[in-house]
Amino acid sequence: MLQTELAAKKRGLKVGQTRMDKTFDIMNYVVLTICFLVVAYPLYFVVIASISDPVDVNAGRVILYPVRMTMDGYRRILEYKSFFTGYRNTLVYTGVGTLVNMLLTVPAAYALSRKDLVGRNVFMMMIAFTMIFSAGLIPTYLHIRDLGLIDTMWALILPGAVSTWNLIVARTFFQQSIPDDLLEAAQLDGATNAQFFVQIVLPLSKSILAVLVLFYAVGHWNTYSNALYYIISDDKRPLQLVLRSILFENTMGDMVEDASNLAAQQRLGDLIKYGIIIASSLPLMILYPFLQRYFIQGVMIGAVKG
């Protein structure tokens, strides 16, 4: 055994590893590194472009590091009131919306996972039907209007209070991870269904809860079309609409109006565009690493049977 280990070390291999295995591992690292660079570089470029002189960015001189660093874009963003109004609105919409989503999705998913729920297959068929057919934009808008939700926070929250896909994922998790024997043992100890759900099921379901929170929070943070249809007042617009107005509607006039000339305004406008993309993405980029472990566990639900 010792001689085998020494021979493997001399050839640069692990014990039991062939040259073909080592070549395969190296190719995996190469391919994954290339994929990482393809995904990461655009994000990195936006970061360095947001603190570089736009003249150098447009000339193609900003590739690996900032050139003639400047923080003018971020300074103007911090002075722009509409940006912070949109940020505040989006934080409220995301927090309240995700809370509503979780309060409705998780209990419903658990109930549908229980074999003793009468008519659960019928309920699942009705729920799955909504993934295939929908009323369409105009009937939905008329329905939201008749409910008096136009230009309110609830127009962005209630129509998507339960995601059918997330409900099915959570239901699958409960079916595979919460054995019936555990419920029977809890009932023998006198636990009610509510106590079993709160005190046993939820603590054992941290991975799926983290996945659902991430999915719902990202959806609310990136909400765009619904806000465009249903939100009228400027002081209620979420961050994505503020970002849209800056990037596509040329409404950053008050942010650059004190620049000395047209060229300076264009330069400052480019800095603001890059900076506001970074500022709007930062919260989710900070949140994801803390949920990554649970996220990986959650997306594997249903991948392995038995």
Predicted confidence band at 6 (pLDDT cuts at 50, 70, 90)? very low
Residue 2 banded pLDDT, cuts 50, 70, 90:
very low
Residue 20 has pLDDT above 70, yes or no: yes
Residues 229/160, Cβ–Cβ less than 8 Å: no
Mean pLDDT of 222-233: 86
pLDDT score for 97:
93
Instruction: Identify the pLDDT of residue 248.
Output: 65
Poorest-confidence range of 65-74, 78-87, 117-126, 287-296?
Answer: 287-296
On average, the pLDDT of the chain sits at: 79
Q: Is the pLDDT of residue 115 over 60?
A: yes
Q: How far apart are the first and last CA of the chain?
A: 35
Rg value, the chain, Cα = 26
Read off the pLDDT of residues 168-219 as tens digits, 9 standing for 90 and up. 888 988 888 888 888 888 888 888 888 888 888 888 888 888 888 888 988 8
* 222 has a pLDDT exceeding 70: yes
Q: What is the pLDDT of residue 103?
A: 94
Mean pLDDT calculated for residue range 135-146: 86
Q: Which of 46, 42, 44, 49 is nearest to 69 (CA)?
A: 49
Distances (CA, A) of 53 to 46, 71, 93, 123: 12, 10, 35, 58
* pLDDT reported for residue 294: 67
Q: How far apart are CA 197 and CA 110, in angstroms?
A: 8
pLDDT higher than threshold 60 for residue 19: yes
Does residue 41 surpass a pLDDT of 50? yes
pLDDT of 235 higher than 60: yes
Closest CA to 169 of 243, 117, 109, 111: 109
Q: Tell me: the pLDDT tens digits for 244-286?
A: 777 665 555 555 554 455 666 667 777 777 787 787 777 777 7
Q: How many residues does the chain have?
A: 306
Find the mean pLDDT for residues 290-305.
62
Residue 157 · residue 230 · CB < 8 Å: no
